[in-house]
Structure 1
Amino acid sequence: MTEDEVLAEFRAADALLEGHFILSSGLHSPVFLQKMLVFQDPQRTERLCRALAEAITARFGQVDLIVSPAVGGIIPGYETARALGCRAVFVEREDGEFRLRRGFEIPAGARVVMVEDIVTTGLSSRECLAAIRHHPGELLGAACIIDRSNGKADVGAPLVSLCKLDVPAYPADALPTELAAIPATKPGSRGLKK
């Protein structure tokens, strides 16, 4: 799947939004990828994650386990694992840190890849990878559907993506005039009240 085909899937789902958005990283951006509008369509999700599974196999070879961060990574992690024919588990925040819960395990010797939906700064990917490293499996690397850092984010492991975008993101105190003139919305899930 080409980068244009990946973006076409997001456009077809009305998931490539323009405006003024506060990202889960706290940065502000004129573009937001509302991936849950993509993931609500099983066929679209299957196409994207099958392509991601092919990219993972090409880079890392056989994979035994996919680990994803909750919430955004659960669906693409599961669907990518299904395409790879392996298991999928996820980490959740407990006392502010990602941990495996629910009886999930990473067996010794398991070949593991972390799958994320979208990488912006790489923070949640780094946190997920740190949790994986507390277990005896062999961490091969990471993968995401869209790398909106255009390869600049350091996730702490080799990263495979279906699409790299160079989308600007700004600290709140350094907004361009045209972006500052638009009311900001925060469409992501991080920071929602429980």
Structure 2
Amino acid sequence: MTERTGIFAGDDPFALSRRWLEEAEKSEPNDPDAAALATVDRNGMPNVRVVLMRGVEDNGFVFYTNYTSAKGQELEQAGSAAFVIHWKSLRRQIRVRGPVARIDPSQSDAYFNARPVQSRVGAWASRQSTPLQSRETLIAEVERLTETLGDAPPRPEHWGGYRITPLEIEFWADGEFRLHDRFRWTRADRMSGWTIDRLFP
């Protein structure tokens, strides 16, 4: 096995990811869990946007979104995705690729119910990725739904979580003169063991 020490030490890539995220929480000014999520549409055209990775589980990374949005449709169609989290303050990044699937509805319910009421109403009001006539239209819909849904809006069926189960994870750290350190973890499927390679920068 490739020798790894210091910030790269450990035999569990998910524990290592959590450790890096915890370190970033102390130094990143905003959203240390922000990730650039890449998908592809039916025509093979790539797409990328920032989402918040709200959970690093024992075998995957979880984020939440509108299932009917452009990203949701592309995730459902392709069944796989990739993302990168880059922490400027730490000069590190994590890259992930793998299959993606919806999480259990009860897990989505628990996360949704923990959000501020205004954010929960917003999930109902937004027809994410579709044309919007004006911001006033959106605000009016939020106000209407605030009265209709009350203080405990339930999770709409079109909103919930996805889990990316990596087949490849790369840990990258900045090096002097651009001689970066890169370690790539790969496996054939979620039940297989990991192979770890040090990569040229």
Q: TM-score range by the shorter chain?
A: under 0.3
State the structure with bigger RCO (CA 8 A, min sep 6), 1 or 2.
Answer: 1
TM-score, structure 1 normalization? 0.26
Normalized against structure 2, the TM-score is what?
Answer: 0.25
